[in-house]
Amino acid sequence: MRAALAIAGVELLRFVKDKGNIFFTFIFPLILVFVLGSQFGGSGNSGRVTISGPDSELRTAVTEQLEDDEVSVQFADHDAMLEQVARGRTDVGLVIDQDSVAAFDNGSATELELIAGNASTSMAAQQRVQVAVGNLDLRQVQVNALEGAGVSADDAAQALEGAAGQASAPTLEVTSVDQLSQEFQGLGQFDLGASSQLLLFTFLTSLAGSSTLINARRQGVMGRTLASPVSTLQAIAGQSLGRWVIAFFQGGYIMLATWLLFGVDWGNIALSLLVLAVFAIVAAGAAMVLGSVLDNEGAAVGAGVGLGLVLAAIGGGMMPLEIFPETMRTIAHVTPHAWGYDAFAEIQRSNGNLIDILPMLGVLVAMAVGVLLLGTWLLRRSLARSL
Amino acid sequence: MRQLLTLLTTDLVQRLRDKSVIIFAVIVPLALMGAMNLVMGDTMDMDLETATVAVSAPEDDQLAAQLIGAIQALPEGGLEVEVTETSAADVQALAESGDAKLGLVIPDGFSAALMAGEPVEVEAVEGDGSGIESTVVLSVVQGFLDRAGASAVAAAAGAELGLPPAELGGLAQQVATGESAISMTTGEASNEQLDPKGALIAGQAGLFLMFTVSFGVLGLLAEREFGTLARLRSMPMNPHLITLSKVLSSFVLGVVATSILLTAGGLLFGVSFGSPLAIAALIVCAVIATTSLTFIVIKLAKTSEQATVIQTILAMVLGISGGAFFPMSGTGLFGTLLDLNPVGAMIRGLGITSGGGGLADIGAPVLILLGFAAVALVIARFVPDRGAMA
Amino acid sequence: MTQTATEPTTTGDGQRVLVVDNLVRRFGDLTAVDDVSFTVAAGETYGLLGPNGAGKTTTISMIAGLLEPDQGSVTLLGQQMGPKKAAPKRHLGLVPQDLAIYPDLSARENLNFFGKLQGLAGGELKSRVGEVLELTGLTDRAKGPTKDFSGGMKRRLNIGIGLLHKPTMLILDEPTVGVDPQSRNAILESVEALSDEGMAVIYTTHYMEEAERLCDRIGIIDSGTLQAEGTRDELIRLTGGVDNIQLTGSGDTAAAAEALLALDSVAQADAERGHLQLTVHDAPTAVAQIVTTATASGLQLSDVQISRPNLESVFLHLTGKALRD
């Protein structure tokens, strides 16, 4: 055991000495958590509308109506607005020109130009603009109707004021039974991104680290280690332990940093760390496999990054598993990521306890044993092969 | 010239024999596109589906019928609607099963309560798998309720003012259907957006272009590691040809890999990017922009590890902020900064070509790309040389 | 500074191919090469002998136009050499100290590539590549990637590339470092052959045996300065040119010493227990007479050892330290 620990210690030292690792291990995951959180997380978006035209009462009125409806409104000049619509940076453009402003101020009829974006998502925003604009002069419509019935405009306005104060407006109460939105209810802005990035990066870093194993074989360090009174098993245990420590350390760091910086709720810390620990064993074992199969450091980094990204994409490290089509969701569970994702979901979202995550842990442990055995066998074989 | 060609071809031969170029430039991005396409298949299909609405409404209720009518009138706006009238209990069940994207429960005595100005609440249940479609319908319902509330207020005001009760119904009707003085016309903007699949392909192509062009720099550092750099410098030629050949090698690899990715991605996922000529121009400009960055890396990196690290940082930062994984949007200075990103500019340019734009329409992204290249070269000029050629 | 044993001798036809004039190169505070001058003639092999870090490779780099000298100049066939001077480089073949070949390319591809850069083309390129493959004994392995080569094969190819364009001036920078004795001998033989064909060669080494065997003239370099230069014999004369003979045997060593000192060839004789240390002029000629005289004076000889000064002693004499420090 002492020999294995010594080897693991050296591996950790080599990792820390490589400055490039600092960015990818410690800074990059946090940037991604932040970007994902700020672009996707948080409150639902009811569409984006860009209004062009001078500041005016009409513009203010429309803006208020839209913002009441939780639509985000921004202003731009005409060309910029058109560009935003064309590029999909806003859902709907609305032109409130000088003529309309004047018409609105003196109560005459006017037309506003609505420019809808090409994406189908703009439809909801279009509808909201229609409603908002339609509501602008409701009071005028009411007054007109009363005047038609022979009431003076002033009387009509006064009576409407009183009636509006007494009547309660009909309301629309929306609930959702959509599994997706229920699933994500109560998740903080950065929570989902943090757990997927945790899985993506611990695995990817570990795989890319397989190059150090190749390097150790190439430099003859492995051979020298085995020439000393250290069994193959000890050497392999040391290498795996080194990779595991790095993966676990990085994962733990991501958990701590996202909690401190973004207030990510990791649920029951002990359980989350347990999931991470088991997941890191799988990652370490996979690195052993990769490091034994390939003989070239460059190719190992390439294959490690590629495989790390692809497995993460399939396993819910990039998009939530919940939005996957049914079959893909099943396929996703060939990756350890999907099981880790499920376990974190259970802990973070439903306050799951050890019993709840036992199935996921079980599968991860089985995977860990599998890749470690495979890695051991392959590494033994690779040591017999010259580089 | 002949020497440059010799340097270039030999370099390319070696890049191809060292499989990491092929892995990074073609295989990994295609695999990622495939994986992301698989997992996002449905969500990327952005065609609006039929809005299935389950409604439970009191019988013979005038306003409830009008509300349903307003929903059914939606196809005029471009959304297919299928309304099923059923019981309140079924509404919930249909929504939960996903058979209805939206369930609406209109309470008994809806019209009466509304006209009396009494509190009345329409319940809406967003069903499983609901999306844009149910949002649109909800907005219609909200608009209807606003109108109906206003007409109730008008009727109440009429009663207050002593209008005969017989006129009140007509008055309410007038408000409910009265034309607003402000009407809407629809204008058009050009379409410069890629659909989600197109954005995925273009984004991955842009991101991995950053990696592909880095192989030129790595080649230069490899020359040093192989010891061949000294030998090359003892050859009867201008030593700048060595650097130049690596940059050209990056350029060729970048153009070829990006062309492969866009073509293969387009074929595999059924995306058309539009005019081949304009696309070719964009690819060339994007490769020039990203390759120009390698001049800076050449000056900074002493070893291939350092070069890989610097290049990967650049690739990830520019790739993600350029929208390689998901569209990034921003306003003001942030938005401008995003616009100046070479990966973003390439995606934008491909958006223009896919929307039918030709050579004449891609001026902005082309200028951004070439401007980026110029700035990178100027920076490279002033960065102190501590890298491969130092 | 440089001790020149005699006026620079030029062997062969005597045409000066390379003139190195007062080269200086500094790296920060360190003056790596300090005022080095020498010339090399056609058919001459010039050795630069010095320990690691003496400034050999920096000097070579300036001669080959890889480095710009801070002062001084290098002239090859009358043309000024420098990093951006393409013309004189055509006449130069460089064999760098470290391997300088592409591992992913085959031997033939490596040769073709560097041949083209040297300006060879068409049939000439093809025949030269064939000749060099033959010369380096790599014809059978011309197609496989060089990363599969043995160390010796890589070394041979590394040298072969430098010969491809039949340079007027060949520079070999420590070509035998880390090479097995057999390959090493092959390399030395081929250098001798090239010199015989009239090629001017600069050969850097820290092995004095190689310098003694190959070089017509030798420059001894240390701490960036050329300490002395000349033929082997000229350099040895700097040490005083005396040989040592050690006689071992039983008998009256003191009497024998006295008898030997009477000989013209013996300059000094010291008797120790069982040994006689003699300082002698021209030991090979004198040894027979010395043995006869010693035996005649009653010494029963069991061993005679002659040691003559070598470049090692020259280096020790000039710098006060051993060559392999």
Q: Residues, chain A, total?
A: 387
Question: If we measure between CA atoms, which residue out of B219, B246, B227, B207 comes closest to residue B17?
Answer: B219
Distance CA A114, CA B122 (A): 29
B120 at A interface, C-beta within 8 A: yes
How many CA atoms lie within 13 Å of A207's alpha carbon, on the beta-carbon side? 25
Mean pLDDT of chain B: 85
pLDDT surpasses 70 at B304: yes
B-C Cβ pairs (cutoff 8 Å, strict):
75
CB-nearest partner of C104 from B14, B236, B237: B14
pLDDT at C110 over 90: yes
Question: CB B147 to CB A138 under 8 A?
Answer: yes
Which range (A217-226, B140-149, B258-267, C221-230) has the least confidence? A217-226
| Residue C231 contacts residue C9 (beta carbons within 8 Å) | yes
Q: Establish whether chain B is in contact with chain C, requiring a minimum of 3 CB pairs below 8 angstroms.
A: yes
Residue B249: closest CA among B30, B18, B4, B1: B4
Smallest Cβ–Cβ distance between B154 and the set A24, A83, A142 belongs to A142
Among C135, C120, C130, residue whose Cα is nearest residue C165: C120
The Cα–Cα gap between C240 and C227 comes to: 16
Structural tokens at position B365: 């992204």
For chain B, the chains sharing at least 3 beta-carbon pairs closer than 8 angstroms are A, C
Tell which wins on pLDDT, A305 or C133.
C133
Compute the distance between CA of residue A131 and CA of residue A126 in angstroms, rounded to an integer.
Answer: 9
Task: Spell out the domain ranges in chain B.
Answer: 2-43+195-382, 51-177
In degrees rounded to 5, what are phi and psi of residue A69? -90, 15
Region class of B164: left (phi > 0), else alpha (psi between -120 and 50), else beta: beta
Lowest-confidence pick of A203-212, A352-361, C95-104: A203-212
Radius of gyration of chain A measured on its C-alpha atoms: 30
Tell me which residue in C89, C100, C113 faces B236 most closely, judged by beta carbons. Answer: C89
pLDDT at B47: 67
- Given CB atoms, is B80 within the 8 Å cutoff of chain A? no
Query: What percentage of chain A exceeds 90 in pLDDT?
Result: 13
Q: How far is CA A355 from the centre of its chain?
A: 27
Radius of gyration of chain B (CA): 31
Q: What is the mean pLDDT of residues A23-39?
A: 76
| Interface residue B337 vs chain A (CB under 8 A) | no
What phi, psi does A75 have (nearest 5°)?
A: -115, 150
Q: What is the pLDDT of residue A184?
A: 66
Q: Which of A140, A174, A309 sits opposite B124 (nearest CB)?
A: A174
Compute the CA torsion angle B129, B130, B132, B136 (nearest 10 deg).
Answer: 160
Domain annotation for chain C: domains and CATH numbers: 3-91+167-238 (3.40.50.300), 243-308 (3.30.70.100)
Alpha-carbon span B297 to C321, nearest angstrom: 45
Which residues from chain C sit within 8 angstroms of residue B231, using beta carbons?
94, 96, 100, 114, 161
Which pLDDT score, from 0 to 100, does residue C5 have?
Answer: 44
SS3 C13: coil
Residue with tokens 């059924």: B270
φ, ψ of residue A173 in degrees (nearest 5): -105, 120
CB contact under 8 A, A149 and B124: no
Q: Which chain B residue shows the shortest CA-CA distance from A82?
A: B189
Q: Is C263 helix (H, G, I), strand (E, B) or coil?
A: coil
10 Å CB burial of residue B44 (0-12, 13-18, 19+) is middle
Examine chains B and A and say if they touch (3+ CB pairs below 8 A): yes
Domain ranges of chain A: 2-41+188-384, 48-156
Indicate the residue type of C176. Answer: T
Whole-number Å distance between alpha carbons of A208 and A290: 9
- List the single residue in C84, C104, C117 with the smallest CB-CB distance to B6: C117
Q: How far is CA C67 from CA A350, A363, C81, C168, C202, in A?
A: 69, 62, 10, 20, 17
Q: What is the CATH number of domain B51-177?
A: 3.40.190
Distances (CA, A) of C239 to A5, A298, B75, C307: 59, 55, 110, 14
| Best mean pLDDT range from A27-31, A137-141, B48-52, B101-105 | B101-105
Q: What share of chain C in percent tops pLDDT 70?
A: 94
Residues of B whose CB is below 8 A from A306: 23-24, 27-28, 31-32
Q: Confidence class of residue C12 from pLDDT cuts 50, 70 and 90?
A: very low
More confident residue, C322 or B154: B154
Which of B17, B20, B231 is the best mutation test for C, with the most CBs of C within 10 A?
B231
Q: Choose among A20, A145, A170: nearest Cβ to B178.
A: A145
pLDDT at B289: 95
Q: How confident is the model at residue A362 (pLDDT cuts 50, 70, 90)?
A: very high
Mutate to test the interface with B, among A172, A197, A321 (most CBs of B within 10 A): A172
Chains A, C in contact: 3+ Cβ pairs under 8 A?
no
CB-based contact A361:A343 (threshold 8 Å): yes
What is the per-residue pLDDT for C8?
Answer: 42
Instruction: Tell me if B6 and C89 make a contact (CB, 8 A cut-off).
Output: no
pLDDT attached to residue B176: 79
Q: What is the pLDDT of residue C7?
A: 42
Does B13 touch chain C if contact means CB atoms closer than 8 Å? yes
Residue in chain C closest to B3 (alpha carbons) equals C117
Nearest to C84 among B3, B235, B238 (CB): B238
C91 pLDDT more than 70: yes
- Put the strands of the sheet holding B182-187 in their side by side order: A72-75, A48-52, A92-95, A110-116, B182-187
Give the per-residue pLDDT at A39.
Answer: 63
Q: How confident is the model at residue C11 (pLDDT cuts 50, 70, 90)?
A: very low
CA nearest B148: which of B181, B182, B106, B183?
B106
Name the DSSP letter for residue C197.
Answer: T
Residues of B in contact with C161 (CB under 8 A): 231
pLDDT at B388: 57
Please report, as a single letter, which amino acid is at residue C104: D
At residue C169, the pLDDT reads 93
Q: B65 CA to chain A: closest CA distance, Å?
A: 16
Amino acid C170: pLDDT: 93
Q: How far is CA A200 from the centre of its chain?
A: 11
- Listed by number, the residues of chain B in 121-180 with a beta carbon closer than 8 Å to a beta carbon of chain A are 121-130, 132, 135-136, 138-143, 145-154, 156-158, 160-161, 163, 167, 171, 174-175, 178-180
**pLDDT given for residue A149 in this prediction:** 81
Query: What is the pTM (predicted TM-score) of this model?
Result: 0.77
CATH 3.40.1710.10 is right for the domain spanning A48-156: yes
Quick one: DSSP state of residue A50? E
Handedness of CA B25, B31, B32, B36 (dihedral sign): positive
pLDDT at C72: 93
Contacts of B152 (CB under 8 A, 6+ apart): A167, B114, B115, B116, B117, B172
Which pLDDT tens digit goes with each residue over B370-387? Answer: 999 999 999 988 888 776
B182 → chain A, closest CA residue: A110
Contacts C84 to B, Cβ<8 Å: 238-239
Residue identified by tokens 């680290």 is A209
Over the stretch C190-231, which tens digit does the pLDDT of each residue have? 888 888 988 999 999 888 888 888 899 999 998 899 999 999
CB contact (8 A) between residue C87 and residue B236: yes
Query: 3-class secondary structure for B332-373?
Result: HHHHHHHHCCHHHHHHHHHHHHHCCCCHHHHHHHHHHHHHHH
Q: Are A313 and B36 in contact (CB under 8 A)?
A: yes
Please give the single-letter amino acid code of residue B223. Answer: E
Q: Which of A182-191, B154-163, B308-317, C299-308 has the lowest mean pLDDT?
A: A182-191
B311 Cβ contact list (under 8 Å, min separation 6): B210, B211, B214, B217, B294, B297
Q: How confident is the model at residue A186 (pLDDT cuts 50, 70, 90)?
A: low
- Under 8 Å CB-to-CB from A357, ≥6 apart: which residues? A271, A275, A343, A346, A347
Element (H, E) at B85: strand B81-85
d(CA C98, CA C177): 9
Does ipTM top 0.85?
no
pLDDT tens digits for range B100-140: 888 889 988 888 888 887 888 888 888 776 677 888 888 88
Distance CA B291, CA B298 (A): 11
Q: Distance between CA atoms of A49 and A72, rounded to whole angstroms?
A: 6
In the A/B pair of chains, how many CB contacts fall below 8 A?
Answer: 317
DSSP characters over C63-122: HTTSS--SEEEEEETTEE--TT-HHHHTTEEEE-SS----TTSBHHHHHHHHHHHTT--H
B30 near C125, Cβ under 8 Å?
Answer: no
Which of the residue ranges A293-297, B26-30, B90-94 would you say has the lowest mean pLDDT? A293-297
Contact across the interface for A175 and B325, Cβ inside 8 Å? no
Give the chain A residue whose CA is nearest to the CA of B350. Answer: A87
Mean pLDDT, rounded, for A294-303: 76
